[in-house]
């Protein structure tokens, strides 16, 4: 959470920082700030305010002096409320600092260094700035080295010292920092999308290594002062794709990009009509030897795991648990060297998933990470990585990351079934024939988006809504409900429809909106009869039904027909429909679709 940036080079820094911060707002958007250092006058300038980067931009408009070195921050508040004072950067003496992460022992540090009188904000970050300044006597490395010895928690610290013109220093533990250069200067950010479109390569700054950004070069040093070799990764995302194009919101653009993203994710993994994971380097033995599978993930990524669970049970006849990463290690999970852990994450930085993965590996588990962001912490922590090819996902609500996670999991499970002798050639062929249809089936739904928009219009005044279904439909709806609640603020519960009559049906009254998906042959009749039960209590039911399923006469508020695929693949068209529903409700309510209140895209606090 929180986005940080830094730039030093030939160009005016203010616009560079503001533009990059706008691209990082998905990480937090409570307040924003920048600090610039003028190499000629030696003067540092601080501009910060509660609100969005656009508010900060207004504040910076009057600034006349041009600086070419600066740091910036967009905040998701953890310690200290949303206010101008708590906004970053923080200054103490010669130190100007922005921070992403949480320094857990900041109260202890206040006492230890007797800082109470000099602090203006309630943040942990200002404490770090003060400690850095205590240790700063003209030697930045010494100050950083001494300070980090005292810090407990996660941090990406980006620092300017007012008497060190044109140089930016950075160090991190867990929280990410990436860096790159071009002909005009050097830059750093929390995420590669903010590095600017002209950079061709970037590096992930190693943990506990001091980085110096100079105007023409980037240097890395171990804490003992020895130089550290930088490892650069090609930027193979088209960073210009990270713009909204002609769409009003990233969420719509990202929903529409799904067919291409699915194709790109499958492309290198289907060779001569067979699933081939050799490019991912996942050895068949790992897939063959494990006795159980465990998914650790959060939010949408966890929902992708739930869909995979049905598939694992039906295709592999194996037990698979799907755990909230945040609960995982506190529940004393049974993990050993026969366990294969799947860590699923778009960002690759979700701290709960990262910690759960580390815990499982300590117990001897093998791990495969399904990740979108290359070189991210979870990718580096895992034994093997399967990257999704979703490209940059900017909207806080995850859409294309989810469906590319699904397709990756379908491929992984297909390969597992093959190497375990549970999928013969003919069955593999059939499986893949279905899978490769997923992009087109999603496209069919996307092409009918105006019909879903009409359905969305009926839900604008709803305070509560339910999504009901059984089996795979229930797993699909858990994600559908998360989408609707996070972007529309309608309290939405996904419910296994057979469970309703054990309590929750008491909440169904006249006109309660209920969205039901009916996509599973073996459950269809039972699902339809559960729908009847809520209709009898006055619910207004929107039905999303697989094409070809016969419906007995019944009145529905609306019916949307989902293009038919084999049952286990219906998640693809159904998810597109549910994503669009959430999107249109949010848009028509006039909400900030891409940046729902209280949320941040990358959750790096536990």
Catalytic residues: 2, 601
Q: Which stretch binds ligand AGP (CB under 6 A): 66-74, 92-100, 196-204, 294-302?
A: 294-302
Residue selected from 31, 339, 345, 530 as contacting ligand AGP according to rule CB under 6 A: 345
Rounded Cα distance between 460 and 552, Å, is 29
CA atoms of 482 and 492, how far apart (whole Å): 7
Q: Which is nearer to ligand AGP, 353 or 530 (CB)?
A: 353
- Hey, how many other C-beta atoms are within 10 angstroms of the C-beta on 273? 12
Residue 520 touching ligand AGP (CB under 6 A): no
Euclidean distance between CA atoms 362 and 163, whole angstroms: 45
CB of 401 to ligand AGP, least distance (A): 6
What minimum distance in Å lies between the beta carbon of 582 and ligand AGP?
9
Quick check: 147 binds ligand AGP (CB under 6 A)? no
Contact between 539 and ligand AGP by CB under 6 A: the answer reads no
Task: Identify which of residues 546 and 595 has a Cβ nearer to ligand AGP in the complex.
Answer: 595
Please report how close the Cβ of residue 34 comes to ligand AGP at its closest, in angstroms.
Answer: 26
Residues 290, 357, 397, 528: which binds ligand AGP (CB under 6 A)?
397
- Per CB under 6 A, 396 contacts ligand AGP: yes
CA neighbor of 542 nearest in space, from 581, 513, 521? 513
Enter the tokens of residue 270.
């289907």
Prior bond of 450 cis (ω within 30°): no
**Please, what is the minimum distance in Å from the beta carbon of residue 114 to ligand AGP?**
38
Binding mask 205-244 for ligand AGP (x = CB under 6 A): ----------------------------------------
Question: Which of 299, 305, 471, 480: binder of ligand AGP (CB under 6 A)?
Answer: 299
Instruction: Of 133, 149, 125, give the one whose Cα is nearest residue 223.
Output: 149
Query: Which of residues 127 and 296 has its CB atom nearest to ligand AGP in the complex?
Result: 296
User: What helix, strand, coil percent values describe the chain, rounded to 5?
Assistant: 40, 25, 35
Pure H helices in 346-464: 351-362, 377-381, 400-419, 425-435, 438-447, 449-457
Cα→Cα distances 372→300, 365, 393, Å:
13, 22, 9
In terms of CB distance, is 141 or 361 closer to ligand AGP? 361
- Separation CA 173–CA 176 (nearest Å): 8
Give yes or no for a contact between 538 and 509, defined as CB atoms under 8 angstroms apart.
yes
Rule CB under 6 A: is residue 596 a binding residue for ligand AGP? no
Q: Does 394 bind ligand AGP (CB under 6 A)?
A: no
Comparison of 164 and 604: residue with beta carbon closer to ligand AGP = 604
Nearer to ligand AGP, 141 or 589 (CB): 589
Spatial CA neighbour of 45 closest among 54, 56, 29, 53? 56
Only one residue has tokens 């559908």, namely 480
Q: Which of 35, 603, 604, 605 binds ligand AGP (CB under 6 A)?
A: 603
Determine the Cα angle at 451 with ends 447 and 457, to 5°.
Answer: 135
Query: Does 578 help bind ligand AGP (rule: CB under 6 A)?
Result: no
CB of 404: closest distance to ligand AGP in angstroms? 11
| 308 contacts 402 by C-beta, under 8 angstroms | no
**C-beta closer to ligand AGP: residue 69 or 602:** 602
Of the ranges 35-43, 68-76, 139-147, 345-353, which one interacts with ligand AGP (CB under 6 A)?
345-353
Q: Is 398 in the site for ligand AGP (CB under 6 A)?
A: yes
In whole angstroms, give the CA distance from residue 1 to residue 109. Answer: 23
When the beta carbons of 86 and 346 are compared against ligand AGP, the nearer one is 346
Does the CA dihedral 499-501-505-506 come out positive or negative?
negative
Closest approach, Cβ 69 to ligand AGP, in A, equals: 31
347 binds ligand AGP (CB under 6 A): yes
Helix (H) or strand (E) holding 541, with range, is strand 540-546
**Collapsing DSSP states into helix, strand and coil, what is residue 218?**
strand
The answer to whether 377 contacts ligand AGP (rule: CB under 6 A) is no
Instruction: Give the span between the Cα atoms of 235 and 373, in whole angstroms.
Output: 11
Q: Which stretch binds ligand AGP (CB under 6 A): 32-40, 315-323, 347-355, 357-365?
A: 347-355
Give the nearest distance from C-beta 304 to ligand AGP in angstroms. Answer: 9
Task: Answer yes or no whether residue 576 interacts with ligand AGP by CB under 6 A.
Answer: no
Which residues, at least 6 apart from 19, have a Cβ–Cβ distance to it below 8 Å? none
Please spell the DSSP secondary structure of 1-17, one letter per residue. Answer: --EEEEEEESS-HHHHH
100 counts as binding ligand AGP under rule CB under 6 A? no
Using CB under 6 A, count the residues that bind ligand AGP: 16
Residues that bind ligand AGP (CB under 6 A): 298-301, 345-347, 350, 353, 396-398, 482, 486, 601, 603
């Amino acid at each position: 959470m929180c986005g940080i940036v830094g730039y030093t080079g030939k160009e005016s820094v203010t616009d560079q920082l503001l533009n990059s911060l706008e691209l990082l707002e998905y990480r937090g958007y409570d307040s924003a700030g920048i600090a610039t250092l003028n190499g000629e006058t030696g003067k540092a300038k601080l501009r910060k305010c509660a609100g969005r980067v656009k508010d900060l931009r207004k504040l910076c408009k009057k600034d006349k002096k041009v600086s070419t070195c600066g740091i910036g921050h967009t905040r998701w508040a953890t310690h200290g409320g949303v206010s101008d004072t708590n906004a970053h950067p923080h200054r103490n003496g010669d130190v100007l600092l922005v921070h992403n992460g949480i320094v857990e022992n900041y109260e202890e540090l206040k006492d230890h260094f007797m800082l109470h009188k000099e602090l203006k904000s309630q943040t942990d970050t200002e404490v770090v700035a003060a400690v850095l300044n205590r240790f700063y006597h003209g030697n930045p490395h010494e100050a950083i080295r001494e300070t980090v010895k005292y810090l407990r928690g996660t941090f990406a610290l980006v620092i300017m010292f007012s008497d060190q013109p044109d140089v930016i220093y950075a160090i991190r533990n867990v929280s990410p920092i990436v860096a790159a250069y071009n002909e005009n200067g050097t830059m750093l950010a929390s995420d590669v999308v903010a590095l600017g479109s002209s950079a061709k390569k970037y590096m992930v700054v190693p943990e506990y290594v001091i980085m110096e950004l100079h105007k023409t070069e980037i240097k890395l040093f171990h804490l003992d002062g020895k130089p550290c070799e930088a490892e650069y990764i090609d930027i193979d995302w088209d960073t210009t794709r990270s713009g909204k194009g002609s769409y009003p919101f990233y969420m719509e653009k990202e929903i529409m990009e799904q067919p291409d993203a699915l194709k790109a994710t499958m492309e290198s993994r289907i060779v001569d009509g067979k699933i081939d994971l050799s490019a991912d380097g996942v050895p068949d033995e790992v897939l063959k030897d494990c006795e159980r599978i465990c998914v650790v993930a959060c939010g949408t990524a966890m929902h992708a795991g739930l869909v995979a669970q049905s598939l694992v049970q039906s295709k592999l006849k194996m037990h698979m648990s799907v755990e909230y990463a945040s609960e995982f290690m506190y529940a004393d999970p049974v993990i050993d060297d026969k366990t294969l852990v799947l860590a699923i994450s778009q960002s690759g930085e979700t701290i709960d998933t990262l910690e759960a993965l580390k815990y499982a590996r300590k117990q001897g588990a093998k791990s495969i990470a399904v990740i979108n962001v290359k070189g991210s912490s979870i990718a580096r922590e895992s034994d093997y990585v399967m990257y999704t090819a979703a490209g940059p996902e900017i909207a806080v609500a995850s859409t294309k990351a989810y469906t590319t996670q699904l397709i990756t999991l379908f491929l992984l499970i297909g390969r597992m079934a093959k190497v375990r002798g549970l999928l013969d050639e003919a069955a593999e062929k059939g499986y893949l024939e279905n899978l490769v249809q997923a992009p087109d089936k999603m496209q069919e739904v996307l092409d009918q988006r105006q019909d879903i928009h009409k359905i969305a219009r009926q839900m604008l005044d709803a305070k509560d809504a339910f999504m009901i279904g059984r089996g795979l439909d229930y797993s699909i709806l858990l994600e559908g409900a998360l989408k609707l609640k996070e972007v529309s603020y309608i309290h939405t519960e996904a419910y296994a429809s057979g469970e309703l009559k054990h309590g929750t049906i008491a909440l169904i009254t006249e006109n309660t909106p209920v969205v039901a998906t009916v996509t599973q042959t073996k459950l269809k009749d039972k699902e339809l009869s559960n729908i009847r039960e809520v209709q009898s209590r006055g619910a207004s039911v929107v039905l999303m039904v697989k094409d070809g399923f016969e419906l007995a006469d019944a009145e529905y508020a609306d019916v949307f027909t989902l293009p038919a695929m084999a049952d286990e693949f219906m998640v693809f068209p159904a998810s597109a429909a549910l994503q669009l529903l959430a999107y249109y409700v949010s848009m028509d309510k006039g909400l900030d679709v891409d940046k729902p209140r209280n949320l941040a895209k990358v959750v790096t606090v536990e």
